[in-house]
């Protein structure tokens, strides 16, 4: 069984304490920044409720039929709901739709096949669309003992208040720097690279770990250097855009770019300049969304990079006057 990071363990312990005292609600909302391991905690909690031979402390055994079925993803009393392919099967939908929520309600109305609990996890819950939210609310309003419906969300504010108010809330928080650093080093990263990644990820240990694992920091440095060259006019927007969208990392580059613009803005005292960078930050995020649609990615990114150049060109002119 994998071990939790300290911030995961805190949330897990909190939920276990609620369970031990019979206060664990039917509807739970696990919220907090992406990549802090919300799903792993919810899944372990599900395993805890479904295990047929839990250990003394109530921890799942990992060996019973129920634990095996869960590990294989075929437990009849467990359901994970997320994005499914569209009708044409060409891409994943970007919403969780009403048919999916109807299946959840149906599932929760059945008697558990293994005599224990029934658990449904919806992730990301903020993707449940408007029509499906009403069906979801209905299910949350009619709790049945032993049936659990858990929502995972990095953007809980986007959920209707009626849904939020029906759920017991478990909050994942960014840990203190020392704890994040210790965790990254425990995963085998050097002190220096862990510190650099953590600073770049503004204290987010999950993101820092991802960047350390997939050359993300190198990519980030390259994006930073490209933006500096574009600002000075040393490279063209078109060729840079083609390079940025030339592999699978286009979205990650745009995320780094947006983030670097925000970091630039944070150090400024000129409000007009801060506003321009904030507008560019928004544009970068919109462009990243466009990558998922049919728009030609290189054109959208070229436009963004031209705007970046223009933003800095104006400053250069202003400064020379």
Query: Which positions touch Zn ion (CB under 5 A)?
Result: 51, 60-61, 64, 67
Q: How far is the CB of 129 from Zn ion (least distance, A)?
A: 35
Q: How far is the CB of 255 from Zn ion (least distance, A)?
A: 39
64 vs 235 by CB, closer to Zn ion: 64
Query: Which residues make beta-bridge pairs with 153?
Result: 31
> Which residues, at least 6 apart from 200, have a Cβ–Cβ distance to it below 8 Å?
208, 211, 217, 220
CA 220 to each of CA 7, 11, 200, 244, 260: distance values in angstroms, whole numbers, following the listed order: 26, 31, 9, 12, 9
Residue 179 CB neighbour total at 10 angstroms = 14
**For the sheet containing 27-31, what is the strand order?**
78-81, 118-122, 147-153, 27-31, 168-171
Q: How far is the CB of 64 from Zn ion (least distance, A)?
A: 3
**Whose structure tokens read 């569209």?**
86
Q: How far is the CB of 41 from Zn ion (least distance, A)?
A: 18
- How far apart are the C-alpha atoms of 114 and 37, rounded to whole Å? 27
Q: What's phi and psi for 80, nearest 5 deg?
A: -110, 125
64 vs 265 by CB, closer to Zn ion: 64
Q: How far is the CB of 118 from Zn ion (least distance, A)?
A: 16
59 vs 179 by CB, closer to Zn ion: 59
32 vs 60 by CB, closer to Zn ion: 60
- How far apart are the C-alpha atoms of 11 and 168, rounded to whole Å? 12
Q: How far is the CB of 218 from Zn ion (least distance, A)?
A: 42
63 vs 94 by CB, closer to Zn ion: 63
Q: What's phi and psi for 181, nearest 5 deg?
A: -60, -45
1 vs 268 by CB, closer to Zn ion: 1
27 vs 60 by CB, closer to Zn ion: 60
At 142, list the tokens.
């009619």
Length of the chain: 321
Q: How far is the CB of 52 from Zn ion (least distance, A)?
A: 6
> Which residues, at least 6 apart from 204, have a Cβ–Cβ distance to it below 8 Å?
33, 35, 36, 174, 180, 198
Q: How far is the CB of 72 from Zn ion (least distance, A)?
A: 13
DSSP character for 267? T
> Which residues, at least 6 apart from 83, have a Cβ–Cβ distance to it below 8 Å?
92, 93, 94, 95, 96, 127
70 vs 260 by CB, closer to Zn ion: 70
């Amino acid at each position: 069984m994998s071990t939790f990071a300290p911030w995961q363990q805190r949330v897990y312990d909190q939920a276990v304490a609620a369970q031990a005292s019979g206060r664990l609600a039917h509807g739970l909302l696990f919220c907090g920044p992406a990549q802090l391991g919300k799903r792993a905690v919810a899944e372990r909690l599900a395993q805890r409720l479904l295990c047929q031979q839990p250990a003394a402390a109530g921890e799942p055994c990992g060996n019973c039929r129920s634990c095996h079925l869960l590990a294989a993803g075929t437990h009849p009393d467990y359901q994970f709901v997320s994005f499914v392919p569209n009708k044409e099967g060409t891409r994943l939908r970007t919403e969780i739709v009403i048919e999916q929520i109807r299946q959840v309600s149906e599932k929760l109305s059945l008697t558990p096949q293994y005599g224990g609990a029934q658990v449904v996890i919806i992730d990301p819950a903020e993707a449940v669309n408007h029509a499906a939210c009403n069906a979801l609310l209905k299910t949350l309003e009619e709790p049945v003992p032993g049936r659990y419906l858990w929502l995972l969300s990095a953007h809980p504010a986007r959920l209707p208040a009626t849904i939020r108010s029906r759920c017991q809330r478990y909050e994942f928080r960014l840990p203190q720097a020392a704890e994040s650093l210790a965790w990254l080093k425990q995963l085998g990263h050097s002190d220096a690279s862990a510190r650099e990644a953590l600073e770049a990820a503004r204290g987010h240990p999950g993101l820092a770990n991802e960047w350390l694992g997939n050359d993300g920091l190198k990519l980030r440095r390259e994006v930073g250097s490209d933006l500096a060259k574009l600002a000075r006019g040393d490279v063209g927007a078109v060729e840079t855009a083609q390079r940025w969208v030339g592999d699978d990392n286009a979205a990650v580059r745009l995320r780094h770019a947006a983030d670097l613009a925000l970091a630039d803005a944070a150090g400024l005292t000129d409000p007009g300049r801060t506003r321009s960078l904030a507008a560019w930050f928004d544009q970068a995020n919109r462009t990243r969304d466009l990558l998922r649609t049919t728009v030609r990615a290189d054109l959208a990114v070229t436009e963004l990079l031209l705007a970046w150049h223009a933003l800095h060109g104006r400053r250069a002119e202003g400064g020379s006057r």
